[in-house]
Chains A and B, each alone.
Chain A
Amino acid sequence: MEKFATHTGVGAPLKHSNVDTDQIIPAVYLKRITKTGFDDALFAGWRKDPEFVLNREPYRNASVLVAGSDFGTGSSREHAVWALRDYGFTAVISSRFGDIFRGNAGKQGLLAAQVEQSDVELLWKLMAEQPGVELTVDLESRTVSCGAVTVPFQIDDYTRWRLMEGLDDIGLTLQHEEDVEAYEQRRPGFKPTTLPART
């Protein structure tokens, strides 16, 4: 994973709440066995509408999505994060994220920045006044800036640290191999195993 420090790009307003992961990427696109190439699948149900925000200039090349509350609820599909990333998004801003989506984003270098709903509305207002305006998300200071306006965002310390260092979770856990082995030694013998198979 690449190190993340700061990013500046065109902001796109997505003025809906409860954008579930079925809307971010419908299930029919989940049959692929690769981890890339999902850009065409992003918001597929809505992309057919010429008025949809990402079909309009100057938002086609947006890289910072500013969405309504409860973004990424529902299904655990990490494909939602892959689709946002493949389309070109580097950060998503919302006042509340689905738990699993937020976790998935942190593992793939997509910044899920949580801000107050009033700040989401402020950013929408600034983007409406100046369509195509660039937003800067700064992970070091945990802020989003748009022109002269700067608002804070929340992200947990651990995810921030991993994103800034570009670290991979599995590698970090494998440093604690001895602790895992010690746990396995004290694990109760009555716990079930799938093998040998009993039916």
Chain B
Amino acid sequence: MTTTTDTTAPRTLAEKVWDDHLVRRGGPGQPDLLYIDLHLLHEVTSPQAFEGLRLAGRGLRRTDLTIATEDHNTPTENIFSTIADETSRKQIETLRRNCEEFGVRLHSLGDAEQGIVHVVGPQLGLTQPGMTVVCGDSHTSTHGAFGALAFGIGTSEVEHVMATQTLPLAPFKTMAITVEGTLKPGVTSKDIILAVIARIGTGGGQGYVLEYRGSAIRSLSMEARMTMCNMSIEAGARAGMIAPDQTTLDYVQGRPHAPQGEDWDAAVAYWRTLHTDEGAEFDREVVIDADELEPFVTWGTNPGQGVPLSRAVPDPEEAEGEDAQDAARRALQYMGLEAGTPMKQIPVDIVFLGSCTNSRIEDLRAAAEILRGRSKAENVRMMVVPGSAKVRLQAEAEGLDRVFTDFGADWRFAGCSMCLGMNPDQLAPGERCASTSNRNFEGRQGKGGRTHLVSPVVAAATAVRGTLSAPSDLEPVG
């Protein structure tokens, strides 16, 4: 990324946002110091940071730019009873005590604004174009959908932001991911991002900020854009961004923390400047043809190990290089799969619809649309976990909860849930899950659990048929 102060030369979106947050430019070999507009907290990565402040006798500099929610550990049923797991309960109680002591706004379990931190920020209108947003969570890249520079940080950095509202950062490189064309019915932004990761690999984005652009991206809703930016980290990138446009403005306007009156006008005037200039250069460019894309699914144990759903489990011997072959063999062994098996013949035990990737109202609507009037495969259990209490209330207002429960799915309260299994929502060893979440790592959803990453509509079709399926595989509702 730029290290010049020349703001008249053509710049990328990421460079503009970077430049606008420079507190202090570092010397040669030194990081720049950037101001942070919004710091999101949750119970897992914050306790040691609060403790660090306390030990050093430091305060939290900007409580008015900080907000906390409970999400990773929270149960998704019986939320008004005491949390049974003692260590989970203690971690949540610690967050409550810390927020009280340092004056941080907290949305606790049972609160109407509680939910997954990356669902709550945009929903409240706190995530806006051109901001810097950080959180002790790698999926902070989600907020880049608004044209914000948003990335995950470790607990030492959480403490640093608490104490100073800044972060020392080494410049990133920039990569354009251009997606032109029109998506076929049943193909979603989840399929685009899974295809991108399969193309560039789980390390392909390392050191880069990705900018998603092109006609297929412009036509996506804000929630679909969030799904894409969310998974930028799975390509190794710290952040993903999409330039704000009318879709972005329409989403932000009227939300509780959106600018109002003259502030709105001033903000919009600024936001309109947030796009990559004609002639600006990216360090790398990747082009994807949207017309060619199909529903995508993972077969292995990292998000880059994916194929179109219409294909078969690939042969490890055909992977490029000894390292990739070895990784593929290990993955198939863990996943209990054989090369050559058509993906659509793989039966699943559980379908999980949720996580910061795909738990927003549009995701629930898209899945419900497929489930309505159909019945669940007997061998499958389905769990629907809305991303926030607000999403849950909205879904109930639209009657989606009844579609899910009539179908035979569990309708749960908001949280991270089975995406990482820190609460009781876990896979048993050997159980196979079609999951709308973001990581198919070994043991991620429960020790010995096997994960296939899918879009919400593929998750729904899979729950109907009992094997990995696309919506187009379903019989019309008669």
Contact = CB atoms under 8 A, between A and B. Distances in A.
Interface stretch (A3-11, A130-138, A144-152, A184-192): A184-192
Contacts of A128: none
Contacts of A116: none
A137 to B, nearest CB: 21
Contacts of A96: 203, 206
A76 to B, nearest CB: 4
Interface string A113-151: 000000000000000000000000000000000000000
A166 interface: no
B113 interface: yes
Residue with the highest number of chain B CB atoms closer than 10 Å, among A16, A17, A100, A192: A192
A61 interface: no
Contacts of A26: 443, 447
Interface string B415-434: 00000111000000000000
A158 B421 contact: no
Interface in A8-40: 16-18, 20, 22-23, 26-28, 30-35
Contacts of A33: 47-48, 51, 90-91, 94
B214 interface: no
Contacts of A18: 202-203, 302, 327
B45 A73 contact: no
Given A75-B138, A99-B238, A173-B33, A81 B67 contact: no
B164 to A, nearest CB: 5
Nearest to B156: A107
Interface in B15-69: 22-24, 26, 29-31, 33, 35, 37-38, 44-45, 47-48, 51, 56, 58, 63-67
Contacts of A174: 163-164
B160 A198 contact: no
Nearest to A156: B170
Contacts of A190: 259, 263-264, 266-267, 270
A104 B153 CA distance: 8
A195 B64 contact: yes
B323 interface: yes
A192 B420 contact: no
A170 B256 contact: no
Nearest to A176: B24
B240 interface: no
User: Could you say which interface size class chain B belongs to?
Assistant: 35 or more
Interface string A56-91: 000000000000111001111111010000000000
A192 B143 CA distance: 15
B126 interface: yes
Contact of A76 (B26, B58, B154, B170): B154
Interface string B321-345: 0011011001000000000000000
Contacts of B30: 157-158
Nearest to A46: B442
Nearest to B302: A18
Contact of B154 (A68, A78, A194): A78
B137 interface: yes
A91 to B, nearest CB: 18
Nearest to B90: A33
Interface in B151-189: 152-157, 159-160, 163-166, 168, 170
B159 A199 contact: no
B47 A199 contact: no
A174 B161 CA distance: 11
B236 A73 contact: yes
A169 B160 contact: yes
A176 to B, nearest CB: 5
B35 A187 contact: yes
B154 A100 contact: yes
Contacts of A184: 35
Contacts of B163: 170, 173-174
Contacts of B168: 158, 169, 172-173
A31 B105 contact: no
A98 B206 CA distance: 7
Interface in B133-153: 136-138, 152-153
Given A70-B202, A193-B64, A173 B160 contact: yes
Contacts of B267: 188, 190
B392 interface: no
Contacts of A195: 63-64, 105
25 contacts: A16-B326, A17-B323, A17-B327, A22-B444, A27-B420, A33-B51, A45-B442, A70-B206, A73-B302, A74-B138, A74-B233, A76-B153, A100-B154, A104-B155, A157-B29, A169-B160, A170-B163, A170-B164, A180-B164, A188-B267, A191-B37, A191-B128, A194-B38, A194-B66, A197-B105
Interface of B: 22-24, 26, 29-31, 33, 35, 37-38, 44-45, 47-48, 51, 56, 58, 63-67, 72-73, 85, 87-88, 90-91, 94, 105, 112-113, 124-126, 128, 131, 136-138, 152-157, 159-160, 163-166, 168, 170, 202-203, 206-207, 233-234, 236, 238, 256-259, 263-264, 266-267, 270, 302, 323-324, 326-327, 330, 420-422, 439, 441-444, 447
Given A20-B441, A73-B236, A173-B163, 13 more contacts: A20-B302, A23-B443, A27-B444, A30-B422, A99-B238, A100-B238, A158-B30, A170-B163, A173-B160, A180-B35, A190-B263, A190-B270, A197-B105
List 6 tightest A-B contacts by C-beta distance, closest first: A104-B154, A107-B156, A157-B29, A78-B154, A33-B47, A31-B87
